[in-house]
Amino acid sequence: MIGAASELVLSVFLVVLLTGTALVANGCIFAAYCRNTNLRTVDNYLFMFLSSANVVVGLCYPLQCLVDLGILNYRAACLPLACVLLVVGFLIAWTIVGLTVERYLNILHPFAARTILTEKRVLCIVCFILFYAAVTGAVVPLVITSAKSNISPEVAANGTASGLNECRLANLVPSRNYRYFYLANRVVAIPLFFGIYLRIFLVARRHVRAIGVQVPAPASQDGPSNYQNGTGNAAGGTGNTQRPERHSKAGWRRQIRLTLLVFAIALYQSICWIPQTLLLIQHQSPPSIYYTLTHFVTFSTSATYPIIYGLGNRDFRKALTNLFGCSNRLNRPRGGEMVSMSPEGRGGSRRTVCTIPDNGEP
């Protein structure tokens, strides 16, 4: 069994690691979103809403560690913290469901997605999720707490109505049905995730294969020289025949990559909630170190989501590199050279280097 001093050192390390990573990662996402107008699209509304919830989770984690260590053991302080975490838990769960549905529409109904997922409708969905989370995560627990006894059946059976159990969820919200309801909101959507993503990947794979087998228009009877003129273009202005197919396939690959990122977020949430699920359904209080490690795994989603989506999404990754000046250093010409690319087809693009004299002469 780990000692109290060792557990305190471990908790401080976990707080610095998780809270610092969550604030820095989500802060970079917000900075890139605010500075780059290309990221202010309807597709990113739900993810930015998820990042806002992640910031709240990261800020609440140090207080949760104080509860796990028994330092914060006042019901008047723990109940508001529990309500905030319950609200954020509902927000994160249903926002990921919204991201999953958004990916489903973009893959299976790409032409109707833009008319269905309008800015007004997405904002209404965000407001509905916020209202639902506030009612079920704050109002209902406060009503249950004021109507029932302050001691839960589990605590009464164990005879530990004081001490570290004072700020546990079983004491703060003495209703086993509500805890199961909260657990259902976090866990029941997992089979829905896997069913939807399986359908998405099957359809996307079929579409990419269908686009890949398309062939360009046949060359005219003037011979091979009319099909390819040596620079990657067809003579007579037919060099753009493959461009729609190429762009269509690139668009599908981009949608698949975004879907994989959202699937990784949903899968990570499902894995991290396994120990929290076991913690909510058991009837006896485990050691405090179990609470510390379980809450770290559960709260780690606040730092992992922005890393997965921010670094995996090419638009966010480019915005972040521009934000820190990495793109300017990588693209800066060397030795007074000015580099230009002549658009002569994808396969025959030519790199032109112009040397600029140091004395300013033309």
Residues 156-212: tens digit of each pLDDT: 444 344 444 567 777 787 788 888 888 888 877 788 878 888 888 887 777 666 665
Tokens coding 261: 């990122």
* Residue 285 to residue 293: CA distance in whole angstroms: 14
Fold observed for domain 4-218+240-330 = Rhopdopsin 7-helix transmembrane proteins (1.20.1070)
Among 21, 133, 28, CA closest to 88: 133
Strand 337-342 vs strand 350-355: parallel, antiparallel, or unpaired?
A: antiparallel
C-beta of residue 18 within 8 angstroms of C-beta of residue 61: yes
* Residue 315 to residue 39: CA distance in whole angstroms: 7
pLDDT tens digits in sequence order for the chain, 362 residues long:
577 888 889 999 999 999 999 999 999 999 999 988 888 888 889 999 999 999 999 999 999 998 888 888 777 778 888 899 999 999 999 999 999 889 888 888 888 888 888 889 999 999 999 999 999 998 888 888 776 554 444 444 443 444 445 677 777 877 888 888 888 888 777 888 788 888 888 877 776 666 655 545 444 444 444 444 444 444 444 444 444 444 466 777 788 888 888 889 988 988 988 888 887 777 667 788 888 899 999 999 999 999 998 888 888 988 888 888 765 554 454 444 444 444 444 444 444 444 444 444 44
Give residues with Cβ within 8 angstroms of 354, minimum separation 6.
337, 338, 339, 340
- Give the predicted TM-score (pTM) of the model: 0.74
CA 4 vs CA 1, 69, 288, 299: distances in Å: 9, 8, 10, 22
- In terms of Cβ atoms closer than 10 Å to its own Cβ (0-12, 13-18, 19+), residue 293 is middle
C-beta of residue 285 within 8 angstroms of C-beta of residue 160: yes
